[in-house]
DNA sequence: CGGAATCCAGATGGATACTG
DNA sequence: CAGTATCCATCTGGATTCCG
């Protein structure tokens, strides 16, 4: 039978690590979660939903996701312009895992905050 | 019935976003994956396993994980010193989700690389 | 051995102004 | 509206050195 090359994110020069760096990222998790929940979304709506993100960072995040094949960009020839984004099938395979991270953060923040307080009291 | 406060990572000032920023991170994903697979591990072994990580970054990552209650640090009074790390029960709840991200990167890197090439040809 | 401290180059990210 | 371009402050992370 044919042999798949062995990729490991643990190897410093393995290309898979560059992909991990993109998906294991705060904004990526939020963008993929929101796009996965809502389907097609305009740039501006995405920006509003991801409270606090700057236009520059959202643009860069979306462009990187598009480059990796996780998001599709739809430009409409209208004035004013309308640009919409949606997950590709590949991107959608990340929706559940990344949404899980967002949900984890929300569900466990009370424990995390308590741990931080204990840690900060013990130390400086 | 009692009411849980609503936490949302989508809200810029919600503390859960600080927790998401910590867990949705390349090195966190790798550290938690490796610790979850191997149990108790020495600092040096972890450093060797996470090929390419600098001592400084590994120290900081582990300290932040410890502060958030995801990792425990065990210091042994020996010469030379031995320091071991392991996931807490809370940290272990992240093992499967974060390992899934590492595995995703390895399993889909071929598609991702192909997409990057197409993108780079179309654009500059 | 497992750090802490220091130094420093480069990446990141915000604010602002401008454009099709 | 959805960017792009520019400027600039901050953060990140590597390399090196030193210590218990």
pLDDT digits (tens, 9 = 90+) for B13-67: 999 999 999 999 999 999 999 999 999 999 999 999 999 999 999 999 999 999 9
Nearest to residue B70, comparing CAs of B29, B108, B38, B109?
Answer: B29
The answer as to whether B47 is a domain residue is yes
Structure tokens at B55: 């001592």
Cβ(B29)–Cβ(A10) below 8 Å: no
- Measured in angstroms, what separates residue A1's CA from nucleotide C8's C1'? 51
Long-range contacts of A51-56 (CB under 8 A, 24+ apart): A51/B10, A51/B11, A51/B12, A52/B12, A52/B13, A53/A27
Mean pLDDT to the nearest integer, B92-116? 98
Which 3 state secondary structure label does DSSP give A26? Answer: helix
Alpha-carbon gap, residue A94 to A108, rounded angstroms: 21
In-domain check, residue B8: no
A102 domain residue, yes or no: yes
Range of the domain at A112: 16-123
pLDDT tens, A6-19? 999 999 999 999 99
In a domain, A8, yes or no: no
- Evaluate whether residue B3 is within a structural domain: no
**What is the per-residue pLDDT across A34-43, written as a single tens digit (0 to 9) for each?**
999 999 999 9
What is the pTM (predicted TM-score) of this model? 0.95
Q: Give the closest of A101, A102, A112 to B68, CB-based.
A: A112
- Are B27 and B63 contacting, i.e. CB atoms less than 8 angstroms apart? no
Domain assignment present for residue A21? The answer is: yes
Q: Whole-angstrom distance between the N-terminal and C-terminal Cα of chain B?
A: 58
Shortest CA gap B6–chain A (Å): 8
A76 forms beta bridges with A82
Confidence (pLDDT) at B124: 76
Which residues from A are below 8 Å from B108, CB to CB?
A: 19, 90, 93
| Domains: count for chain B | 1
Residues 6+ apart with CB under 8 A from A80: none
Q: What is the DSSP string of B53-98?
A: --HHHHHHHHHHHHHTTSEEEEEE--SS-EEEEEE-HHHHTTHHHH
Q: Does residue A38 lie within any of the structural domains?
A: yes
Mean pLDDT of A25-53: 98
Q: What is the CATH number of the domain that holds B79?
A: 1.10.10.10
């Amino acid at each position: 039978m044919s042999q798949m090359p062995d990729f490991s994110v643990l190897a410093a020069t393995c290309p898979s690590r560059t992909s991990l760096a993109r998906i294991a990222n705060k904004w990526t998790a939020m963008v993929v979660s929101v796009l996965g929940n809502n389907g097609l979304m305009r740039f501006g709506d995405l920006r509003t939903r991801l409270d606090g993100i700057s236009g520059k960072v959202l643009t860069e995040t979306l462009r990187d996701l598009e480059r990796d094949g996780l998001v599709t960009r739809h430009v409409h020839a209208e004035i004013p312009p309308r640009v919409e984004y949606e997950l590709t099938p590949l991107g959608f395979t990340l929706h559940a895992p990344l949404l899980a991270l967002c949900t984890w953060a929300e569900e466990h923040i009370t424990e995390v905050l308590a741990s931080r307080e204990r840690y900060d009291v013990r130390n400086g």
